[in-house]
Structure 1
Amino acid sequence: MASTWFGENELRIVLLGVAGSGKSKTANLLLGPKDSFNFEPRSMRSIAKYSYRYQKALKIVDSPGLFGFREININQELDECLNLSKPGPHMFIVCVPMDRITDQTSKAVKKYVKYFGEDIYDFMIIAFTLIDQWELDNEELELVPDFEAYLEKLPANMKHLLQRCENRYCKINNRKTGDESTKLANQVIGKIIAIITILMAGFAPFKQSVPGNEIRMVLIGKTGTGKSKTGNSIIGDKRNQFPFGCNANSITFLCSWKTTVRFGKKLDVVDTPGVFDTHRANFEVQKEIARCIALTTPGPHALLYCAKMGRFTQEDIDTVEHFVKYFGEELLNYTIVVFTQVDQWELDEEEKGEGPNTVEQYIKDLPDNLRRFIDRIENRYVFVNNRLQGRQQEDMVRKLIKNVETLILTRNNKCYTNANYEKTEKILEEETEKNQLSRDEVKNSSSFFLIIYKMIEFVEHIIRLFF
């Protein structure tokens, strides 16, 4: 299961920002008086310090400020930030000096987004620093400091940044000492913990983070059962969708992979439209098995079998068995049936005029052979309506992910694996190290797929020769 902060006693925070934005002083505020970062001269390397405060083992990573007097290798330093905050930071604090809002802050954030991807916004809070200097400047001008008015007058690029962070911000006065300093630090840490709790977030699963924060799912089912639409509901991003319906073409006969960060988890989804239909040639299926293994290494946490509500038949079970034939019987222990098109089933029930029917009654009324299959997979099933949007869709997907997490717990936090997956994971680690790329970059490369395909083809050849 994904590692979550509330299951650990550690809170990992990375400070980002331009040179002179008060990062190191903010880090010292959070750490307390026992340990501190040097802020003169300005740091040129990423450094981590530790403290035990707020009933947490607090780890603060201070990164070098951008656009200072000396150039830094930003990719190298951000790599080091992730290395120092393994298995991943819980929150990024971007420090913005209130007395001098410039384009440099926006440029710095663009560099962070280029490195981490858009997902960094989900784990970002803006810290407005040097508030004491801003207040003094207002007094000299005989103005009453008005923070709300200050936010209203921010440049468009800063307003956009706040919007992307869902208006998560705090105000920092690093000149405070004693009890006032402790009180301010408690407020900031409390806000961070509250944000993580609301997001149901674990740590940020970025470039160097281990696969422990991933949930890997494979969608299978007969053509037209809503696999791709279910995948799109899980991903929740209209700009990043699996093709379906009339948008589908010959490419939909290949396994395809989408990934996102949602509910604080990295969700990897593999869609298999048409791949495991029983009429497909064996060599075609074998090729797509290799692709599926390459995309889901070290192994899937759940096999989501999609079946139309009201049209769940023996043919569906045969399709599952066809898939299991290639992956092994153990995979049934990781299978969840996803009943799709619940909305259409409800309409059909109304048209019958036989009185209201419930999804619970639907399961009870299944034929014996289908009921036995549901029993065989330990009654793991969910109902989805892929027409839902907004909060309703989010609640539906959250419930689905909760079911997957429950399954992971029952399997002792382990994913499904077999000999091919173990070999693939070893190759992935070697390729990641050799090419200095992220796991996702390697997994999604054609060269990696070719290596895995040849490896699996060789294993199958040996099996045929000797068995």
Structure 2
Amino acid sequence: MTQPGPTAFLMVVRPYVLTTEQYKAFEKFLKIFGEEIYKHLIIIFTRPKETSENCRKIPEQLRNILCKCNNNLIYFDNHLKGIERDKQVKNLLELIDKEICKKADTFKHTFYEEAERIITNSHNYLRLLYNKDTPEENDNATNREIDQGKGLMLKILLRSFAKIFKAENFNVTTKPFRPISITDYELRIIMFGLSGSGKSATGNTILNDRKFKSCFSSSETIHTCKRGTKERFGIILQVIDTPDIIELSDGDCDRELRKCVGLTAPGPHAILFVVQAGRFTQNNEKTISKLETYFGHEMWNYFFLIFSHGDEIQQKHGSLETFVKKAPSNLNQILIKCQRRCIAFNNKSEKLNERQVQDLITKIRDIILQNATDHFRNERYDLAENAMKEREENLMQDTNNVLLHGKHPREKVRDELNSYDSEASKLLSRRTLHCR
């Protein structure tokens, strides 16, 4: 909001008082922005009518701050109104003009430079996303999408800044921001389930696009992870459709799960297990058990049950709540582990598409707020993310970026994972080899 940098910083305190909490806050502020702020700092004493200017001595800590900011001090009586109130505002502006504008440039810092870069990237991203500089005036749908996209960029910007304020070392000149990544824009979702469960159809419903081949027989099932990406509701949805892992050999299963981890690094926001309503079998239990062994118990914090054929639930049970209450004991145990996070999907109804997908996104956002991290992560994902970044850097070292073909480097690396002989796949395998 103060790009490209503020002209002045105002420190507002009661007259002749600087509490311990205020001084600690100022020290933290100083660590973030550095000594340069003193050139732009003005102290404001809020002075009630009955307060005398000379009734107290200025505390030593406040006196030191005043000395460093060239005694830029002004009194404000917030009880004043009308002309008198306007006069003191005028005095403040004159002080800013005389002592700051004429002696120093606009405040500049790595923090603000990074903010400017993120905002520029966000603008370029929106242009890329909608393939236009500005929306057509008569295109309300596009206007709405642009507004949603801008809201997403603001969230990314705030999240990037929040990392600095949470860090132990506030000196951003020694710990610069990580370059903005495509992973900041996404909602990453993995889908697991048995063949014929409606998993691929559910992925198509989420993306509102036929990205995955929906199969109805085991002879047509997929044997490798597939990725589908679509922008909806101002969010980039990345959905990974996986094969039925209990149909794979141990070697193929390990290879596909490793690919899945690479595609969703630094970690998925949700792990969906799709099961056809009324058909929770022993093979479903075996698959979930295998997933828990691979991903760990923390998986349950991001785990959802998706019941496909939601229309049958409605016809036979009236509501999802009634259906869940009648769930067999084995299914109920899974519901307890995932804190009863479940959604019914009707993949045949275009009318219900938007509502049920928005319901899913809302529930995913809820668990992101509840959990300690904004996505699932463990050692395997940390190692995979390091491998993905390493491959990105290798690609970017090509001075002409001829390998990227206009793509974001992360997207290029993800494309490479489709080939098990690619540099990305080999690097990912080496980096996560000891995670068994």
State the match for 1:281 in structure 2: 249
Post-superposition offset of 1:11 = 9.6
Name which of 358, 363, 366 aligns with 2:319.
358
Structure 1 segment 51-450 matched on structure 2, within 5 A: 83-85=117-119, 88-89=122-123, 116=128, 119-121=129-131, 125-126=134-135, 166=141, 168=143, 201-203=151-153, 209-238=181-210, 241-245=211-215, 252-274=222-244, 276-277=245-246, 279-347=247-315, 349=316, 357-389=318-350, 392-436=352-396, 437-445=408-416, 446=419, 447=422, 448-450=424-426
Normalising by structure 1, we get a TM-score of 0.55
One-letter code of the match for 2:214? F
After superposing the two structures, state which structure 1 stretch, 296-305 or 438-447, moved more: 438-447
**Inter-partner Cα distance in structure 2 for 1:332 and 1:416:** 10
Q: Could you list the per-position Cα deviations for residues 377-419 of structure 1 after superposition, in whole angstroms to 9, with x for gaps in the alignment? A: 11111111011215x3111111111111111111134211222
Normalising by structure 2, we get a TM-score of 0.59
- For the 8 Å contact 1:304–1:338, the answer to whether it is kept is yes
**Inter-partner Cα distance in structure 2 for 1:310 and 1:247:** 18
Q: Could you list the per-position Cα deviations for residues 326-359 of structure 1 after superposition, in whole angstroms to 9, with x for gaps in the alignment? A: 2222212210001110113444x2xxxxxx6332
One-letter code of the match for 2:251? F
Name which of 459, 462, 467 aligns with 2:434.
459
The alignment of Structure 1 onto Structure 2 pairs a total of residues equal to 294
- For the 8 Å contact 1:338–1:382, the answer to whether it is kept is yes
Q: Residue 325 and residue 164 in structure 1: after superposition, are their counterparts in 2 closer, same or farther (change >3 A)?
A: farther
SS of residue in 1 equivalent to 2:222: helix
RMSD: 3.7
**Inter-partner Cα distance in structure 1 for 2:434 and 2:228:** 28
- For the 8 Å contact 2:149–2:235, the answer to whether it is kept is no
One-letter code of the match for 1:450? K
- For the 8 Å contact 2:145–2:233, the answer to whether it is kept is no
**Inter-partner Cα distance in structure 2 for 1:298 and 1:364:** 36
Post-superposition offset of 1:232 = 0.7
- For the 8 Å contact 1:298–1:417, the answer to whether it is kept is yes
**Inter-partner Cα distance in structure 2 for 1:11 and 1:231:** 40
**Inter-partner Cα distance in structure 2 for 1:124 and 1:249:** 47
**Inter-partner Cα distance in structure 2 for 1:252 and 1:218:** 15
- For the 8 Å contact 2:195–2:218, the answer to whether it is kept is no
Q: Residue 319 and residue 200 in structure 1: after superposition, are their counterparts in 2 closer, same or farther (change >3 A)?
A: farther
Unaligned 5+ runs, structure 1: 1-8, 13-33, 35-48, 51-58, 62-79, 93-111, 127-160, 169-193, 350-355
Post-superposition offset of 1:250 = 6.5
One-letter code of the match for 2:434? V
Post-superposition offset of 1:294 = 1.0
**Inter-partner Cα distance in structure 1 for 2:270 and 2:238:** 11
- For the 8 Å contact 1:301–1:404, the answer to whether it is kept is yes
Q: Could you list the per-position Cα deviations for residues 269-293 of structure 1 after superposition, in whole angstroms to 9, with x for gaps in the alignment? A: 110132x12x421111111011111
- For the 8 Å contact 1:82–1:209, the answer to whether it is kept is no
One-letter code of the match for 2:134? I
Among all aligned residue pairs of Structure 1 and Structure 2, give the percentage whose two residues are the same amino acid: 25
Post-superposition offset of 1:365 = 1.1
Q: Could you list the per-position Cα deviations for residues 307-328 of structure 1 after superposition, in whole angstroms to 9, with x for gaps in the alignment? A: 1112224432321111222222
- For the 8 Å contact 2:195–2:221, the answer to whether it is kept is no
- For the 8 Å contact 2:190–2:272, the answer to whether it is kept is yes
Q: Residue 432 and residue 371 in structure 1: after superposition, are their counterparts in 2 closer, same or farther (change >3 A)?
A: same
Post-superposition offset of 1:361 = 1.2
Post-superposition offset of 1:195 = 6.3
**Inter-partner Cα distance in structure 2 for 1:272 and 1:10:** 45
The higher radius of gyration belongs to 2
**Inter-partner Cα distance in structure 1 for 2:243 and 2:253:** 12
Q: Residue 10 and residue 395 in structure 1: after superposition, are their counterparts in 2 closer, same or farther (change >3 A)?
A: farther
One-letter code of the match for 2:191? L
Post-superposition offset of 1:459 = 1.6
Post-superposition offset of 1:247 = 9.9
**Inter-partner Cα distance in structure 2 for 1:197 and 1:162:** 13
Q: Residue 163 and residue 323 in structure 1: after superposition, are their counterparts in 2 closer, same or farther (change >3 A)?
A: farther
**Inter-partner Cα distance in structure 1 for 2:146 and 2:2:** 13
SS of residue in 2 equivalent to 1:372: helix
- For the 8 Å contact 2:145–2:234, the answer to whether it is kept is no
Q: Residue 418 and residue 198 in structure 1: after superposition, are their counterparts in 2 closer, same or farther (change >3 A)?
A: closer
